[in-house]
Amino acid sequence: MGESRPGTAPVLSEDEMMARLRDFVAAQVSLAPGEVRVGSLRRLAGGASRELWSLDVELGGAAPAQLPLVLRRDPPGRQGESDRGLEFRVLRAAARAGVPVPRVHWCCSDASLLGAPFFLMDRLEGETLPRRLLRNPEYAATRAGLVPALGAILARIHAIDASSPELAGLASAGGGSAREEIRRIVEAAQRLAVEPHPVLDLAARWLEARAPEPRRRVLVHGDYRVGNVMFDATGVRAILDWELTHLGDPVEDLGWLCVRAWRFGNDALPVGGVGTREELVRAYQEAGGTPVDPEALRFWEVCGNFKLALVFITQCRAWLDGVPSLELASLGRRTAEAEAELLELMEGPA
């Protein structure tokens, strides 16, 4: 996979990046550097926590090929927060399980090469913007079939053999039991918040009193939501952004998909603004997913909004600490939205 020991992170121009990528790819496919061409390198929008770059690779030699690729890497200076190698291996395992994901090619953990660990995967054609999914007429058929598709895909994800030696790093990838997740969120919120949040205090107590014990621990995507789904007019093309994958309760992924922020105004349809919880659970169970307790789903939806409030607090704190971004400031004020949703969900049946 081309992995090696981490080194010192340089600052590189795009021309230098392409030259280094040419040499890296040539070594992976046993070609001379002159038989590999790398071009059209450009930074892609999105990837708030990880950089995405588009590039074209042309292979010469006895088996010529043209590869439209995406490079996914940690922002220089922030490597070590997660494991690009583990994400690479999870994507490979997901593809074998029939989950629609971009095909991965090569991975490198040597930060001295491009400034941070990275891997290369296929560049797919499709759309990821939720507002286009929810509003554009050409995606009407995709909207109609999206919730059944996402339920079935999630069942495949949760069926991946997490005990495989290839995925050994999942045991230390974060996540865990419901109580561990609550504790992690509470500690982070207390550390980062600059003002009291009594709704979050109430939510922490509500969650602690209702934390379910999972019947099994599976590979959980960790950020399964509209926005991390690539689609076109025919349906789902790929599930993206696997950096938060961990072992945990399978209902965690279903609850996160139901969080209100991913509905983009279509609040009457709680699953991504396109369907109902009942439709999601039915599709998931019919595809082989574990039977879902409605109260467990409610718990994880509350926990998802609780976690989202922490995300907004974190963004606000970054802005207050001097990061010059109006986006961070605007996201910080959305903590109140997550708190309002928490109150509504907690006021339901006991």
- Domain borders along the chain are 14-122, 139-346
pLDDT surpasses 60 at 81 = no
Assess contact for 133 and 226: CB atoms under 8 A: yes
Q: What is the mean pLDDT of residues 328-340?
A: 90
CATH number of 139-346: 3.90.1200.10
Residue 84, pLDDT above cutoff 90: no
Distance, in Å, from the CA atom of 230 to the CA atom of 212, rounded to the nearest integer, reads 32
Record the tokens describing residue 153, joined without a space.
């895909």
In whole angstroms, what is the distance from residue 140 CA to residue 152 CA? 19
- Span 81-88, average pLDDT: 77
CATH topology of domain 14-122: Phosphorylase Kinase; domain 1 (3.30.200)
Q: Check for a shared fold between 14-122 and 139-346.
A: no
Residue 171's pLDDT band, with cuts at 50, 70 and 90, is confident
Q: SS3 sequence, 169-193? A: HHHHCCCCCHHHHHHHHHHHHHHHC
**Structure token pair of residue 100:** 């629609």
- The confidence score (pLDDT) of residue 5 equals 41
Tokens encoding 256 = 């996160």
Q: Please indicate, yes or no, whether the overall pTM of this predicted structure exceeds 0.75.
A: yes
pLDDT band at 194 (very low <50, low <70, confident <90, very high): confident
**Residue 6: pLDDT over 60:** no
pLDDT of residue 175: 64
